[in-house]
Each structure stands twice: as C-alpha cells, then as structure tokens.
Amino acid sequence: MLRKNRLFTPGPTPLLPPAQAAMASFSLHHRTADFRTLYMRALADLKQFVGTKNDVLVLASSGTGAMEASVSNLTSPGDKVLVLTAGKFGERWRDLAQAYGCAIELVTVPYGETFRLDEIRKRLTSDVRCVYLQATESSTGARHDVQGIVKLVRANGDNTLLVVDAITGLGTTHFDIDGWGIDLIIGGSQKALMIPPGLAYLAVSERAWQRMESTQSPRYYFDLRKERKAAARGESAFTPATSLIGALSASLDYIRQLGEGDLVTGRGVLIAGAELCAEMTRAAVQALGLKLFSPSCPAAALTAISAPPGIDSGAIVKEFRESFAAVVANGQGEMKGKLFRIAHLGYYDYVDTIGIVAALEHVLAKIGGRPIQYGTGLRAAQEVYACQANRETVPAVV
C-alpha cells in the first residue's frame, strides 16, 4: 500500500494548502506599496488571532528569536528574573536569561508536572523584574495555569513583567492577554498557524515598552523598538521573510473562514478542534493501556505518551514512520527514549486523529510487547467524538 508522508509533530505541523500556494507564487518586493498593504493587514489580523490591543510584531526567525528578544529587550545584566521550568523549553528560558547575565531564580518541577501557585507566590519578591514561563511545555505535553500565574504577577506590582512562551499555546488555549495583563506573549509560525518555520510573532504591552526605555542588555537584530517603528509604516526593520508573510496572510484568511467571516470565532474553532483531537487521543492511548506523560495537566496542543515499560520510544517513532510514513516526535533531552508525542495543533481533523490512533494500534501490536485487541483505542476515540456535545461541523474550507 502507498504511504503518505504526514507530520504529527508539535512543530513543524502540516501545511495549509492555500498557504503553500500563496508562498509558491509570492513575488512582491518588500519595499513596495502592495507589500506594505499586505503586511499591515497581516499584522492587524494577527492581532485579532492573538487576541490583544497591544502591538503585535513579526520577526524573521524561529520562535526562539522572539524568546531571545524578550530577554534582551526587557532585562539589564544583573536583573533578577524568575524562570518557571518544567521541561526543555523552560530550560531554554533559563539558558537565555543566563546568556544575558540575569540573576536567575528558578522554580523547577519534574518533567510532566505543572507549578504550584503557592510556590510561585513565595518566590515572587518585589525585586523580580521578569517572570518567564511556557503556556504549554511542548516537551512534556503539560499545560500551565497562565491565568493563575498572571494573577500572582500582577499582584506583585508593575515592576514585574510576565513573559509567556505561547508558541504552542496560541491557537490551542484561550488567553485574555489584556484583561489578565500578560506583558509579552510569543507565537511561532510552524505551530497552530499551519505554515512553515521562519516567523516568530509577539504582542508587547505598554508596561513592556516602558521597560525597554531603560534596559541595558545588548540587542541589534531583535531590537523591538526599531521593529515597532517600522511596523507602524507597514514595514519591517530588515528584509522580512516575504513569502512567509504571504503564507501567514493566507492562514489568517483561512482561520477567518473557519469562523464564517470572524477571525476570533475562527480561532475558537481551531482551539476546540485541537481540544477534541487531544481528548480523543488521550482516551485512545489510555484504553490501550498506555500512560499519559502529563496526566494531571494535559495540553490540547499535543499529547505526550510514555513508552510501555521496556520499550524505547525511539522504536515506536521508527515504526510509525516505516509502516505508515507518520512522523511523531520522540522525547527531547533526558526524555528521549521514554515518551513519544502526537500533535493536535493547527491543521488536524477527525480523520487525521482516527488514522493516527489506528496506526498506533498496529505499532503496539508489532513492537508493544503484548497482544492488542484491535479497535480498543479506536472505540474510545470514537466515543469521545460521539459524546462531544458541542461538536460543531464547520465549513470544509479547503
């Protein structure tokens, strides 16, 4: 049987066909009126997608570029920062803050878990200049309580800024950025936006802009104030990733169509879809006797599944690829070999989810070390789908 190559990785995610077409045919030069119009519109749409009145900027980099910008622009060497870490991406915040000479305080919880609010409250002294966290820790599949944490940070006063890496959180989680008071929130193109890697985007609060007037850390390419000035003219400070901006624009049009003309509604459809795919997957893997890696706080963006005892998750990843050309993700760092990850964010639907669950049954039958009753996982996933009360069919736009 032929096998179609399919990504089930939490970034890059499958590409949206109209975004691919927009990219392939893109030919505008970036210092032209046509491009400025397109860029302005993309930024305005992105603002709606992110859900904020704050400035939204786009950088030509992977998500980590925006993470770096939110350290270099918001801190001075020696500033005390609180880093909340529960996985490889939390550790990236720690490493970045270290690279810029911050005085780092860590709140660390074991992989697969989330933070206790009282522990964060204890560590939030008035001299903490920035708090850094993930909305969803893509290395473990855990979702963190951004709303609970932002409440604590705001109660700590305006001296403390909250920076959220929502690279897999945006498009899978509801945030009230302005209402809660998130100072900087970051997304990446290769996740829920269904386009290739290469763009990072971020929303910056007034408090954060003020902070940048006095911070001393070195920055050049990722100087957000320079980028803000350029964006106001419909330009970027340096050559933008033009064809990706074309793709971004097509992706935001698609999300608007999902919402039957309303982008914010479309974002809700995208989030509900990820949630349903995640719930189907969780039910299936548990019915098959597998354990969730983050059972107490599972994200909608992806599901991390512990490999059965005695089995290397690398063998599972390999079997998915060899038998079905389905690319699922192994664990990162010390989690390599211990878990595998299946994504739900972006361009996934019912058939994709049922397909990967069915493939998982075959993978386990072949290398799982014990007999499989075919249909056990599928049945659980089907029941979740059937029971979903507010399951709405949206127009099949593509």
Ligand X SMILES: *Cc1c(COP(=O)(O)O)cnc(C)c1O
Residues 343 and 10 sit within 8 Å (Cβ to Cβ): yes
Say if residue 35 is exposed, middle or buried (CB neighbours under 10 Å; 0-12, 13-18, 19+): buried
- Which structure tokens are listed for 159? 């001296």
Interface pick for ligand X out of 72, 75, 114, 168 (rule CB under 6 A) = 168
**Residue closer to ligand X (CB basis): 167 or 354:** 167
* 11 near ligand X, rule: CB under 6 A: yes
Q: CB-wise, 135 or 364, nearer to ligand X?
A: 135
**In the bound complex, what is the minimum distance in angstroms from residue 14's beta carbon to ligand X?**
15
Binding mask 110-149 for ligand X (x = CB under 6 A): ------------------------x---x-----------
CB within 8 A of 124, min separation 6: which ones?
A: 82, 131, 152, 153, 156, 160
Please report whether residue 332 would count as binding ligand X according to CB under 6 A.
no
**From the list 79, 165, 183, 253, which residue makes contact with ligand X (rule: CB under 6 A)?**
165
Which residue number, 257 or 303, has a Cβ lying nearer to ligand X?
303
Question: Is residue 331 at the binding interface for ligand X, with CB under 6 A as the rule?
Answer: no
Cβ-contact 264, 237 below 8 angstroms: no
Radius of gyration of the chain (CA): 21
Nearby residues of 164 by Cβ (< 8 Å), 6 or more positions away:
133, 134, 135, 146, 150, 175, 182, 184, 185, 186
| Residues 174-203 within binding reach of ligand X (CB under 6 A) | 188, 197
Query: Residue 262 Cβ, how far from ligand X at the closest point, in Å?
Result: 27
Residue 13 binds ligand X, judged by CB under 6 A: no
Is the Cα dihedral 48, 223, 249, 274 positive or negative? Answer: negative
Q: Which of 14, 20, 41, 64 binds ligand X (CB under 6 A)?
A: 64
Which residue shows structure tokens 């096998």? 3
Does position 340 interact with ligand X (CB under 6 A)? The reply is no
> Smallest Cα–Cα separation from 350: which of 375, 372, 378, 317?
378
In the complex, least distance from residue 210 CB atom to ligand X, rounded to whole angstroms: 26
For ligand X, which stretch binds (CB under 6 A), given 44-52, 62-70, 264-272, 363-371?
62-70
The nearest distance, CB 170 to ligand X, in angstroms, is 10
Q: Taking contact as CB under 6 A, which single stretch among the options 69-77, 99-107, 164-172, 224-232 is the one that binds ligand X?
A: 164-172
Query: Pairing state of beta strands 326-327 and 6-7?
Result: parallel
Residue carrying the six token digits 């001393």? 216
- To ligand X, the closest distance from the beta carbon of 338 in angstroms equals 18
In 3D space, the residue among 67, 167, 138, 137 whose CA is nearest the CA of residue 329 turns out to be: 138
In the bound state with ligand X, the residue whose beta carbon lies nearer, of 141 and 259, is: 141
Using CB under 6 A, which of 20, 40, 62, 80 touches ligand X?
A: 62
- Of the candidates 114, 61, 118, 119, the one whose C-alpha atom is nearest the C-alpha of residue 90 is 114
- Site residues for ligand X per CB under 6 A: 10-11, 62-64, 89, 134, 138, 165, 167-168, 188, 197
